[in-house]
Chains A and B, each alone.
Chain A
Amino acid sequence: MGIKNLGQQGIVFAVFTALFPIFAIALPGFLTTANMLTLLQNVAVLGILGLAMAIVVIGRGIDISLIAALAVPPGLVLQMVQDGHSLSISLAAAFALSIAFGLVNGWLIAYAEVPSLFTTLASGLFLAGLGQAALFKLDVVQWSPGLDGFEKLGQGNLLGIPMPVVMFALACIAVAFLLRQTRLGAYIYAIGDNPNGARVTGIPTRPIIVLQYVMAALIGCAAGLIMASSVNSMPTRIFNSTLIYDVILVVVLGGIGLSGGRGGVVNVIIGTLLIGTMLNGMTIMDVSYSGQNLVKGVVLLIAVITDSFLNPRNEETAQQGDI
């Protein structure tokens, strides 16, 4: 009973508070200002992606195409500026692409009723392929003078706090407001918990599902812009990385049940802190790429198992004996 009452987010937060001092003492160079800043910056992009994923997962879906949404529209911005278009037109084109992409995802999932996992698996591959084949000249789209000033989004700071962290904080506030204070948010929870029940209560479930994927794509695009401006380029090969696993880890580990209808921004923050610290620690310890993947895989498995143990949706419902 004790563990259950603590809840997943409690456990994860406890692990984080245990891990952090251990790393701080055991790993030279962990608790330096420079490393903390890198940690926070990396974590910021991951966290923003986690927010996008959270919106979709709470609504009982999943968005595997997030990394493509992160790489391609911002890559397009860099490419278009390089080709001589103005920054504002390039940004508008990127947002339009993101919205269109979200609409396609959403339509396929909500109206054609293709499971979200398969839809986004395929659509992400398509978008990444489209970028590589038709939009970008090189795998790494380079910064160009037309973008000067824009790098502040990734490299600037506000009162000493790095801009990406500020952005993550703002995104957290915005998404928390959306989920907890608005009708749309209430509907997303209802749909995630009981889609049929939500439908016969008169909630426009399909448009709301579409909207979730549009929001996810837009947030992904924002994360990509922050990422590109902090490294002065967009490495579109990121699509082939294991970043999507990190994002899923953040969400599941943070305690947003994959069965939908549960969790919120707090869970994303906790998940992000733990994953960010873990990844950073492993890098300092010089754990190899495959070693890191092994660790991530094990943690993800544990998280998924804990999730279904702590949120035994079907059994719990079945155990309520009467109607």
Chain B
Amino acid sequence: MTALLEMRGISKTFPGVKALRNVNLAVQAGEIHAICGENGAGKSTLMKVLSGVYPHGSYEGDIIYEGEQRQFAGISDSERLGIIIIHQELALVPLLSIAENIFLGHEPAKMGVIDWDEAFRRTRELLAKVGLNEQPTALITHLGVGKQQLVEIAKALAKKVRLLILDEPTASLNESDSAALLELLREFRRQGIASILISHKLNELAAVADFITVLRDGTTVETIDCHAEEISEARIIRSMVGREMSERYPHRVPRIGDTLFEIRDWRVEHPQHPGREVIKGVSLNIRAGEVVGIAGLMGAGRTELAMSVFGRAYGRHIAGQAFIQGREADLSSIQKAVAGGLAYLTEDRKNLGLILGEDIKSNITLANLAGVSRYGVIDDHGETEVAEQYRSKLNIRSSGILQKALNLSGGNQQKVVLSKWLFADPCVLILDEPTRGIDIGAKYEIYTIINDLAASGKGVLVISSEMPELLGICDRLYVMNEGRLIDEMPVHEASQEKIMAAIMRQHGAAR
């Protein structure tokens, strides 16, 4: 059998970085081929070479697709041949309907007039194929991330896809949405559509993949045949990082002190729909040296809660009291929140976390420029020193502190945002999905940093969609659902089942 796709000896160099070195990849028709590797290993770069984002001539090596040598000059060339890439950052237009989004740019038309009946009919077919139960006229903004992801896939199907590339598709999905998406890939496999799946969630890869290609430092380590051997996460990790990783979470000895931060009866209204309460009377506290987690499903209101607390970065008509170290705190603006000792690590690092056009150095010092300047004048040496210090402490992989944030791999961008808030030296850190899109090794490093922060007497609030992570690093958990905290438990009493049960119970009560 000849391969659908073969990439041979691909090398790609950026100024100062060799991102890919002689990488080989072969994908057969109708298989699910996973790619994994640490942050900055070159996974996204390889897919950009394949899809023509980096055009022929800007890399070395050959791409053979459907038996022919291909030289893509841009994305449209590869799309025409059925290679469709779905980026992690969804590219849908929020205020248009599902149908409009799916057919954007190639609307079915009769003599120049859009044939909406036809568009709706075909949208319905496509939505049925991806198992999404929504009307074609529903607006994208009203859909959750999981459903938006399915719309993206429906859009790909509308273009007659033969090879679907998904770059970290499940990073922001909850478990049931992820499961649905993986099931869909299996269905595609039955229909002969091949998929390339990039993910840091190794359990998913182990569950669906036929082959797993592992990249490390821009080279292919191996391609594992999942049908020939028993696949375990440990097996993949060993190949990824080149050594055993026995522990997933660093050992933690909590030393918990007094209450550091507290909010009482916190209420927030939706910024666009006055009167609609998004946060409905939340009270919580964090003690010094404590790591507190908030579990919940996508859309439970965790990010909204965190951002409204952080200087009203979200919402309007915010009511409730906040206390820092026992004293009532004024959190009416972000500057005041930062001055009061709060930091919020956003889940949306591209749009809110980073200044993409600036270098690593400027990004790291941005929240605390006062710390490297005198009378408003920045001390260059001091700034460089600080940036270097965090680059080595958090192991940020880059060509130097002058590399632009835009050109960093996803995981390393996250470390830059984290460095920024660490340098601001807050007493309470709110970390929203701190390990999203981050490899196993780097996750461990971030957990260690969280431990160190707690050990130094700070309070940490972690929001995460990965329950094992919360169970592995927190001391105490809150469960949030539909704008309310519905349960609270010390971690030694908590389990995934217990958390889900609490959520289900409330769903039941609401009916």
Interfacial residues, chain A to chain B (CB-CB below 8 A): 1, 181-184, 186-187, 189-190, 193-194, 196-204, 261-262, 316-323
Contact = CB atoms under 8 A, between A and B. Distances in A.
A202 B338 CA distance: 6
Nearest to A202: B338
Which 7 A-B residue pairings sit nearest by Cβ, starting from the closest? A202-B338, A322-B410, A322-B88, A321-B167, A193-B357, A321-B87, A321-B44
Given A183-B378, A197-B351, A202-B338, A322 B167 contact: yes
Contacts of A319: 48, 53
A197 B357 CA distance: 12
B367 A201 contact: yes
Contact of B354 (A184, A194, A203, A321): A194
A97 B501 CA distance: 66
28 contacts: A181-B378, A182-B378, A183-B369, A183-B373, A183-B378, A186-B369, A189-B355, A189-B362, A190-B355, A193-B356, A196-B351, A197-B354, A199-B334, A200-B307, A200-B310, A200-B346, A201-B367, A202-B334, A317-B350, A317-B406, A318-B89, A318-B91, A321-B47, A321-B85, A322-B167, A322-B171, A323-B168, A323-B436
Interface residues of B, number: 52
B342 to A, nearest CB: 9
Given A322-B88, A322-B168, A202 B367 contact: yes
A251 B304 CA distance: 40
A183 B437 contact: no
A20 B53 CA distance: 39
A317 B356 contact: yes
B370 interface: yes
A190 B358 contact: yes
Interface string B386-413: 0000000000000000000010011000
A138 to B, nearest CB: 43
Contact of B358 (A182, A261, A320): A261
Given A196-B351, A322-B87, A323-B410, A202 B335 contact: yes
Nearest to B57: A1
B443 to A, nearest CB: 15
Nearest to A187: B369
B366 interface: yes
Interface string B331-364: 0001101100000101001111111111000100
A321 B89 CA distance: 7
Contacts of B409: 322
B437 A323 contact: yes
Given A182-B378, A193-B358, 16 more contacts: A183-B369, A183-B377, A189-B358, A190-B358, A197-B351, A197-B352, A198-B355, A200-B307, A201-B334, A204-B335, A316-B406, A318-B87, A318-B91, A321-B88, A321-B89, A323-B350
